[in-house]
Structure 1
Amino acid sequence: MSDVILLNGMAVEALIGVYDWERVAPRPLMLDLALSVDLSAAARSDDVQDTVDYAAVAACVTAVCAREQPQLLEALAGRICSALLAEFGAIDALTLTVHKPGILPNVNDVAIRLTRSRLSD
Protein backbone atom coordinates (compact mmCIF):
# COMPACT_ATOMS: atom_id res chain seq x y z
CA MET A 1 0.00 0.00 0.00
CA SER A 2 1.48 3.32 -0.99
CA ASP A 3 -1.37 5.63 0.10
CA VAL A 4 -0.67 7.42 3.38
CA ILE A 5 -2.49 10.02 5.44
CA LEU A 6 -0.06 12.05 7.57
CA LEU A 7 -0.94 13.92 10.74
CA ASN A 8 2.26 15.61 11.91
CA GLY A 9 2.91 17.75 14.96
CA MET A 10 -0.27 16.78 16.82
CA ALA A 11 -0.11 18.46 20.25
CA VAL A 12 -1.62 16.50 23.15
CA GLU A 13 -1.20 16.34 26.89
CA ALA A 14 -0.82 13.18 28.95
CA LEU A 15 -0.04 12.24 32.51
CA ILE A 16 2.99 10.11 31.77
CA GLY A 17 6.29 9.31 33.37
CA VAL A 18 8.19 7.02 35.69
CA TYR A 19 9.25 9.57 38.30
CA ASP A 20 7.01 11.03 41.00
CA TRP A 21 7.61 14.59 39.75
CA GLU A 22 6.23 13.53 36.34
CA ARG A 23 3.02 12.17 37.86
CA VAL A 24 1.69 15.46 39.27
CA ALA A 25 0.43 17.08 36.07
CA PRO A 26 -0.04 16.27 32.40
CA ARG A 27 2.86 17.13 30.15
CA PRO A 28 2.87 18.16 26.51
CA LEU A 29 3.62 15.56 23.90
CA MET A 30 3.91 15.85 20.13
CA LEU A 31 2.77 13.05 17.84
CA ASP A 32 3.40 12.23 14.21
CA LEU A 33 1.07 9.71 12.64
CA ALA A 34 1.22 7.96 9.26
CA LEU A 35 -1.89 5.96 8.34
CA SER A 36 -1.74 3.43 5.51
CA VAL A 37 -5.15 3.64 3.86
CA ASP A 38 -6.39 2.80 0.38
CA LEU A 39 -7.27 6.28 -0.91
CA SER A 40 -8.20 5.28 -4.46
CA ALA A 41 -11.97 5.49 -3.86
CA ALA A 42 -11.68 8.93 -2.26
CA ALA A 43 -9.45 10.13 -5.08
CA ARG A 44 -12.13 9.12 -7.59
CA SER A 45 -15.25 10.16 -5.66
CA ASP A 46 -14.16 13.32 -3.81
CA ASP A 47 -16.41 12.01 -1.00
CA VAL A 48 -15.32 12.15 2.65
CA GLN A 49 -17.09 8.82 3.24
CA ASP A 50 -14.39 7.15 1.14
CA THR A 51 -11.50 8.19 3.36
CA VAL A 52 -10.59 8.35 7.05
CA ASP A 53 -11.95 11.34 8.96
CA TYR A 54 -8.81 13.20 10.10
CA ALA A 55 -10.66 15.04 12.85
CA ALA A 56 -12.04 11.76 14.23
CA VAL A 57 -8.53 10.27 14.25
CA ALA A 58 -7.19 13.29 16.14
CA ALA A 59 -10.10 13.10 18.60
CA CYS A 60 -9.45 9.40 19.22
CA VAL A 61 -5.75 10.05 19.89
CA THR A 62 -6.56 12.97 22.22
CA ALA A 63 -9.08 10.85 24.13
CA VAL A 64 -6.61 8.02 24.65
CA CYS A 65 -3.97 10.49 25.90
CA ALA A 66 -6.46 12.07 28.33
CA ARG A 67 -7.75 8.72 29.62
CA GLU A 68 -4.60 6.65 29.94
CA GLN A 69 -1.90 7.34 32.52
CA PRO A 70 0.94 4.94 31.78
CA GLN A 71 4.50 5.33 32.94
CA LEU A 72 6.11 4.62 29.58
CA LEU A 73 5.82 6.29 26.20
CA GLU A 74 5.90 2.81 24.72
CA ALA A 75 2.73 1.85 26.60
CA LEU A 76 0.87 5.01 25.60
CA ALA A 77 1.89 4.59 21.97
CA GLY A 78 0.75 0.97 21.99
CA ARG A 79 -2.64 1.95 23.38
CA ILE A 80 -3.05 4.69 20.77
CA CYS A 81 -2.20 2.26 17.96
CA SER A 82 -4.64 -0.34 19.28
CA ALA A 83 -7.44 2.23 19.61
CA LEU A 84 -6.93 3.54 16.07
CA LEU A 85 -6.90 0.08 14.52
CA ALA A 86 -10.02 -0.87 16.50
CA GLU A 87 -11.98 2.28 15.64
CA PHE A 88 -11.02 2.83 12.00
CA GLY A 89 -11.43 -0.24 9.83
CA ALA A 90 -9.99 1.52 6.77
CA ILE A 91 -6.56 1.81 8.41
CA ASP A 92 -4.44 -1.12 7.23
CA ALA A 93 -1.30 -0.10 9.13
CA LEU A 94 0.12 2.88 10.96
CA THR A 95 3.33 4.36 12.23
CA LEU A 96 3.17 6.54 15.34
CA THR A 97 5.99 8.65 16.72
CA VAL A 98 5.50 10.09 20.21
CA HIS A 99 7.82 12.95 21.20
CA LYS A 100 8.39 13.92 24.83
CA PRO A 101 10.41 17.12 24.47
CA GLY A 102 12.60 18.57 27.19
CA ILE A 103 12.51 15.53 29.47
CA LEU A 104 16.29 14.98 29.66
CA PRO A 105 18.95 17.59 30.26
CA ASN A 106 21.02 18.30 27.15
CA VAL A 107 18.53 16.38 24.97
CA ASN A 108 16.05 18.40 22.94
CA ASP A 109 13.61 15.56 22.35
CA VAL A 110 13.07 11.94 23.32
CA ALA A 111 10.79 9.97 21.03
CA ILE A 112 9.63 6.44 20.32
CA ARG A 113 8.17 5.08 17.10
CA LEU A 114 5.82 2.12 16.75
CA THR A 115 4.57 0.53 13.54
CA ARG A 116 1.48 -1.66 13.73
CA SER A 117 -0.76 -3.35 11.20
CA ARG A 118 -3.89 -5.42 11.27
CA LEU A 119 -1.74 -8.51 10.76
CA SER A 120 0.59 -7.76 13.69
CA ASP A 121 -1.89 -6.33 16.18
Structure 2
Amino acid sequence: MPDRIELRGLTARGRHGWFPHERENGQLFRVDVALSVDTRAAAESDDLTDTVDYGSLAERVVGLVSGEPVRLVETLAQRIADLCLDDPRVEAAEVTVHKPEAPMTVPFDDVTVTIRRART
Protein backbone atom coordinates (compact mmCIF):
# COMPACT_ATOMS: atom_id res chain seq x y z
CA MET A 1 0.00 0.00 0.00
CA PRO A 2 1.51 3.36 -1.02
CA ASP A 3 2.11 6.22 1.36
CA ARG A 4 0.31 9.53 1.04
CA ILE A 5 1.55 13.10 0.72
CA GLU A 6 -1.15 15.75 0.96
CA LEU A 7 -1.26 19.45 0.21
CA ARG A 8 -4.39 21.12 1.51
CA GLY A 9 -5.79 24.57 0.92
CA LEU A 10 -3.45 25.82 -1.80
CA THR A 11 -5.03 29.17 -2.64
CA ALA A 12 -4.84 31.34 -5.73
CA ARG A 13 -6.92 33.73 -7.74
CA GLY A 14 -7.93 32.38 -11.13
CA ARG A 15 -10.09 33.38 -14.07
CA HIS A 16 -11.77 30.01 -14.62
CA GLY A 17 -15.47 29.77 -15.32
CA TRP A 18 -18.22 29.43 -17.84
CA PHE A 19 -19.44 33.02 -17.64
CA PRO A 20 -17.61 36.02 -19.11
CA HIS A 21 -17.60 37.90 -15.79
CA GLU A 22 -15.76 34.98 -14.14
CA ARG A 23 -13.04 35.13 -16.77
CA GLU A 24 -12.81 38.90 -16.61
CA ASN A 25 -12.92 39.45 -12.84
CA GLY A 26 -11.45 36.21 -11.53
CA GLN A 27 -12.18 34.60 -8.19
CA LEU A 28 -10.63 32.60 -5.39
CA PHE A 29 -9.86 28.89 -5.85
CA ARG A 30 -8.50 26.43 -3.31
CA VAL A 31 -6.90 23.11 -4.20
CA ASP A 32 -6.26 19.97 -2.19
CA VAL A 33 -3.89 17.35 -3.59
CA ALA A 34 -3.26 13.85 -2.24
CA LEU A 35 -0.46 11.84 -3.81
CA SER A 36 0.15 8.11 -3.56
CA VAL A 37 3.91 7.79 -3.23
CA ASP A 38 6.26 5.15 -1.86
CA THR A 39 8.29 7.18 0.63
CA ARG A 40 10.57 4.39 1.87
CA ALA A 41 13.60 5.47 -0.17
CA ALA A 42 13.30 9.04 1.13
CA ALA A 43 12.81 7.85 4.71
CA GLU A 44 15.97 5.75 4.47
CA SER A 45 18.15 8.34 2.73
CA ASP A 46 16.68 11.44 4.41
CA ASP A 47 17.20 13.16 1.04
CA LEU A 48 14.66 15.41 -0.67
CA THR A 49 15.67 14.09 -4.09
CA ASP A 50 14.17 10.71 -3.15
CA THR A 51 10.65 12.04 -2.71
CA VAL A 52 8.19 14.53 -4.14
CA ASP A 53 9.25 18.12 -3.41
CA TYR A 54 5.87 19.35 -2.23
CA GLY A 55 7.05 22.97 -2.04
CA SER A 56 7.89 22.97 -5.72
CA LEU A 57 4.69 21.10 -6.56
CA ALA A 58 2.63 23.66 -4.62
CA GLU A 59 4.16 26.50 -6.63
CA ARG A 60 3.37 24.75 -9.91
CA VAL A 61 -0.22 24.00 -8.87
CA VAL A 62 -0.76 27.64 -7.89
CA GLY A 63 0.76 28.61 -11.24
CA LEU A 64 -1.87 26.53 -13.04
CA VAL A 65 -4.69 28.03 -11.01
CA SER A 66 -3.53 31.60 -11.57
CA GLY A 67 -2.53 30.95 -15.19
CA GLU A 68 -4.39 30.26 -18.40
CA PRO A 69 -8.16 30.15 -17.76
CA VAL A 70 -10.38 27.20 -18.56
CA ARG A 71 -14.16 27.09 -18.58
CA LEU A 72 -14.73 24.07 -16.32
CA VAL A 73 -13.37 23.23 -12.89
CA GLU A 74 -13.15 19.64 -14.13
CA THR A 75 -10.62 20.73 -16.75
CA LEU A 76 -8.56 22.55 -14.13
CA ALA A 77 -8.60 19.51 -11.85
CA GLN A 78 -7.44 17.28 -14.72
CA ARG A 79 -4.56 19.62 -15.54
CA ILE A 80 -3.46 19.58 -11.91
CA ALA A 81 -3.66 15.77 -11.80
CA ASP A 82 -1.59 15.55 -14.99
CA LEU A 83 1.00 17.86 -13.41
CA CYS A 84 1.20 15.63 -10.33
CA LEU A 85 1.58 12.49 -12.43
CA ASP A 86 4.48 14.05 -14.35
CA ASP A 87 6.63 12.93 -11.41
CA PRO A 88 7.31 9.20 -11.95
CA ARG A 89 7.29 8.60 -8.17
CA VAL A 90 3.61 9.56 -7.99
CA GLU A 91 1.50 6.43 -8.46
CA ALA A 92 -1.86 8.21 -8.20
CA ALA A 93 -3.25 11.65 -7.47
CA GLU A 94 -6.50 12.85 -5.97
CA VAL A 95 -7.27 16.49 -6.71
CA THR A 96 -10.08 18.57 -5.22
CA VAL A 97 -10.70 22.03 -6.61
CA HIS A 98 -12.80 24.33 -4.42
CA LYS A 99 -14.72 27.19 -6.01
CA PRO A 100 -16.23 29.00 -3.00
CA GLU A 101 -17.27 32.05 -5.03
CA ALA A 102 -19.09 30.12 -7.77
CA PRO A 103 -21.93 32.10 -9.38
CA MET A 104 -25.01 30.45 -7.87
CA THR A 105 -28.40 31.89 -7.00
CA VAL A 106 -28.78 30.09 -3.66
CA PRO A 107 -26.70 30.32 -0.47
CA PHE A 108 -23.85 27.78 -0.27
CA ASP A 109 -20.51 27.21 1.43
CA ASP A 110 -18.43 25.71 -1.36
CA VAL A 111 -18.48 23.93 -4.69
CA THR A 112 -15.89 21.20 -5.21
CA VAL A 113 -14.83 18.84 -7.94
CA THR A 114 -12.72 15.85 -6.93
CA ILE A 115 -10.99 13.58 -9.41
CA ARG A 116 -8.73 10.56 -8.92
CA ARG A 117 -6.16 9.61 -11.52
CA ALA A 118 -3.56 6.84 -11.52
CA ARG A 119 -0.79 5.67 -13.79
CA THR A 120 -2.01 3.32 -16.46
TM-score by length of 1: 0.90
Post-superposition offset of 1:24:
0.9
- Report the 3-state secondary structure (helix = DSSP H, G, I; strand = E; otherwise coil) of the residue aligned with 2:100: strand
Post-superposition offset of 1:102:
2.9
Cα RMSD, aligned residues only:
1.2
Measure, in 2, the Cα distance between the counterparts of 1:63 and 1:37: 23
8 Å Cα contact 1:10-1:31 kept in structure 2 = yes
Aligned partner of 1:56: which letter?
A: S
Measure, in 2, the Cα distance between the counterparts of 1:66 and 1:36: 25
Post-superposition offset of 1:68:
2.4
How many residues are treated as equivalent by the alignment? Answer: 118
8 Å Cα contact 1:68-1:76 kept in structure 2 = no
- Report the 3-state secondary structure (helix = DSSP H, G, I; strand = E; otherwise coil) of the residue aligned with 2:84: helix
In the TM superposition, what are the counterparts of 1:10-49 in structure 2 within 5 Å? Answer: 10-49=10-49
Measure, in 2, the Cα distance between the counterparts of 1:90 and 1:26: 34
Measure, in 2, the Cα distance between the counterparts of 1:65 and 1:18: 15
Residue segments in structure 1 that go unaligned for 5+ positions in a row? none
Post-superposition offset of 1:50:
1.1
TM-score by length of 2: 0.91
Aligned partner of 1:39: which letter?
A: T
2:111 equivalent in structure 1: 110
Post-superposition offset of 1:79:
1.1
Measure, in 2, the Cα distance between the counterparts of 1:52 and 1:83: 12
- Report the 3-state secondary structure (helix = DSSP H, G, I; strand = E; otherwise coil) of the residue aligned with 1:108: coil
1:92 corresponds to 2:91? yes
The one-character-per-residue Cα deviations of 1:66-104 (angstroms, maximum 9, x if unpaired) are: 332111000111111112212x11111000000000323
1:58 equivalent in structure 2: 58
Aligned partner of 1:24: which letter?
A: E
Measure, in 1, the Cα distance between the counterparts of 2:83 and 2:5: 17
The one-character-per-residue Cα deviations of 1:38-73 (angstroms, maximum 9, x if unpaired) are: 101111121111110011111211222233211100
The one-character-per-residue Cα deviations of 1:6-60 (angstroms, maximum 9, x if unpaired) are: 1011112211111122111221101111001110111112111111001111121
